[in-house]
Amino acid sequence: MAQPTLVQPGTKVKLSDYDPDYHEGYQKNDPEVKERRDRARKSMYELQERLFAEKQQALLIVLQAMDTGGKDGTIRHVMRGLNPAGCCVSSFKVPTPEEAAHDFLWRVHARVPAKGQIGVFNRSHYEDVLVVRVRKIVPEQVWRRRYQQINEFERLLVETGTRILKLFLYISRQEQKKRLEARLADPTKHWKFCAGDLAERDLWDQYLEAYEAALTNSSTDAAPWHIVPAGRKWYRNMVVAELIAATLQDMDPQWPEPQVDISQVVIN
């Protein structure tokens, strides 16, 4: 039986109940892995074209993970081949002075995909209940209220035509160590490494607790969370591709009706 990814609303999440290295018994080069991934990608590409033409719905994919969890790699490998005219990736760093002068969702709402588009958030509004909690950037009474504010914001988006697919890419502390060491060993990846990575790693347990609270308090009927085993990149990519394809299939975008009577059109 496959490890479920969906966090049922109302569930108290303990990440120790999930195996970040789960892979259904597959091996990296199993033909079925490639078949499943490629089938999902093909479905994604076809449905994206219909979504773009229909322009009645949008899909927002939220990616969250610990450092080295694979957000960039997921975007690079899973989204490859999507029409860039209908897909946009947004990253959320430390707020600028202008962003900090507004409510915490102001900058996020501005980057929600328009109808017909697929938007990907590489980190997101959830940083405002994760890093701000762990780093004590705002008081507890402030970040605790944000769970409800986020839920209401996401419900607004869903009710106005934006489907939200929230993915937590889950890796182990041991896997993070391996990936950080790999960055140090590869000169082409040195740019990804900074001293702050080690400081954040020292707070692993606090981040794990913050993620458990976020997953527990913000997996809703309107926008549930999925916990994706991300210890094996090839398995992560397959699972994410299948989740995106299944979401688009459920959205079922339709080709719009022609604006003219096609039967009467004559091209000389």
Any idea what the CATH number is for the domain that residue 121 is in? 3.40.50.300
Per residue in 144-175, is it b (16+ CB within 10 Å) or e — as a string?
eebbeebbebbeebbeeebbbbbbbbbbbeeb
**Count of the separate structural domains present in the chain:** 1
Residue pair 119/61 in contact (Cβ under 8 Å)? The answer is: yes
For residue 67, is it within any domain?
yes
The Cα 86–Cα 171 span in angstroms is: 30
The Cα 57–Cα 77 span in angstroms is: 24
For residue 8, is it within any domain?
no
Average pLDDT across each block of 10 residues of the chain; the chain has 268 residues. List them in order: 89 97 95 96 97 98 96 94 93 94 97 98 97 96 98 98 98 96 91 85 96 98 98 97 98 92 85
For residue 262, is it within any domain?
no
Instruction: Give the count of beta carbons closer than 10 Å to the beta carbon of residue 17.
Output: 10
What pLDDT is stored for residue 235 in this prediction? 97
What pLDDT is stored for residue 1 in this prediction? 58
Contacts of 209 (CB under 8 A, 6+ apart): none
Contacts of 213 (CB under 8 A, 6+ apart): 129, 133, 147
DSSP track, the chain: -PPP-B--TTPPP-GGGS-TT--TT--TT-HHHHHHHHHHHHHHHHHHHHHHHH-S-EEEEEEEESTTSSHHHHHHHHSTTS-GGGEEEEE--SPPHHHHTS-TTHHHHTTSPPTT-EEEEES-GGGGGTHHHHTT-S-HHHHHHHHHHHHHHHHHHHHTTEEEEEEEEE--HHHHHHHHHHHHH-GGGGGG--HHHHHHHTTHHHHHHHHHHHHHHH--SSS-EEEEE-SSHHHHHHHHHHHHHHHHHHH---PPPPSS-GGG----
The Cα 219–Cα 13 span in angstroms is: 10
Q: Which two tokens stand for residue 247?
A: 């979401």
What pLDDT is stored for residue 7 in this prediction? 97
Question: Can you give the residue range of the structural domain that contains 154?
Answer: 15-253
Residue pair 70/171 in contact (Cβ under 8 Å)? The answer is: yes
